[in-house]
A and B are shown apart, each in its own frame.
Chain A
């Protein structure tokens, strides 16, 4: 058993207990969301002691060097002196310049960051409601093509942040955002490789960013984008994607809808997983981007791997939330 020091207080850690869980148990308000080392909302800083490598996975080298770590993934082996981070170090304000529904329940939010904001299309930011409540949203824009950042936000029943963004936030408001992170983005190596991008719901946000980025960087192989939805009305970027397919012969759009009548291609009732195996019949040579609902992303990933895709060619962003873990 070891302990942490926080605000000059000594807090014991149980065996296998994380720093986050110990602090929450003591009643401290520590921002957190996914509790799975993904969202980076629970970032803290170590002043003294050794941070386990696992608690720094996915952090930028500059942050690692300053002792930043993720409290939800930190099970120290020896005493660790920790503090909450100065939020102004990590967050910056952005102004809402567009706030419109794409479709029932899907908000298109455009933000103008107050300072230079670098990212790769497909990465995600943390958007903060206040000092402790923050959530991840994927970047649907491309920094080289767009002068503001675009997010697609699905309304989640009883969801704190998504309903706040839908109902209370309006054009002209300011929100705090935190640096982009994540490994699900386009890399220019192997331009001839065929790519398949698949997602459900607002999993489309990072995917359209990645597809546009790939086209911008001169990708030569085919790019298939598959959007899985419950009904036709959920295909919130249908026209945009149809236009992209018309403009770029190598870009192919497939819409896979569970409930539909009188449909014509590219809309079909083919289940998403089946469509994937038809498009990428020999997945060994393909590159994959999978985003959206966590259980669906994880199933797609596993099935593709078993069918012969290489893990090094599968990029994914499951939209995990604390209750999935």
Chain B
């Protein structure tokens, strides 16, 4: 059976999803404050990294990268509710792209598996 990443559509899916997802993030008052003042072009690339990882694709991020990358956000109050919101928006994005429900669940599971790293616990 093909991998989750391939079923979702691989790199092409990441490129398609990234703008839809990032648009949702910036429109969502629960979390958009964390993205203020960051360069949008650079952000789009980082979000591609995020999506590739969440879609189960090839990436080189370590647990330490995830901790270091979100430390400054935890200091600004990042908590479980924000991770939930991100996972919700990710789900909505994939629904719009007509990804199968089980695959959306697998993506949520991957995102959840790094929750403690993201929140530096």
Interface residues, chain A, with chain B CB atoms under 8 Å away:
298, 301-302, 305-306, 308, 310-311
Contacts and interface: CB of A to CB of B under 8 A. Distances in A.
Contacts of B23: 305-306, 308
Contacts of A311: 19, 40-41, 44
B27 A302 contact: no
Contacts, number: 18
Given A310-B19, A311-B19, A301 B40 contact: yes
Query: Secondary structure of the B side of the interface?
Result: helix
B26 interface: yes
Contact of B26 (A298, A305, A310): A305
Contacts of B22: 305
A148 to B, nearest CB: 32
Given A298-B40, A305-B40, A311-B44, 7 more contacts: A302-B26, A302-B40, A305-B19, A305-B22, A311-B19, A311-B40, A311-B41
A306 B40 contact: no
Contacts of B27: 306
B4 to A, nearest CB: 26
Interface in B13-27: 19, 22-23, 26-27
The 9 A-B pairs of least Cβ separation, nearest first, read A311-B44, A306-B27, A306-B26, A306-B23, A310-B19, A301-B40, A311-B19, A305-B23, A302-B26
A20 to B, nearest CB: 18
A292 to B, nearest CB: 17
6 contacts: A301-B40, A302-B26, A302-B40, A305-B23, A306-B23, A311-B40
Nearest to A301: B40
A317 to B, nearest CB: 12
A297 to B, nearest CB: 11
A310 B44 CA distance: 11
A308 B22 CA distance: 11
Contacts of A298: 40
Contacts of A310: 19
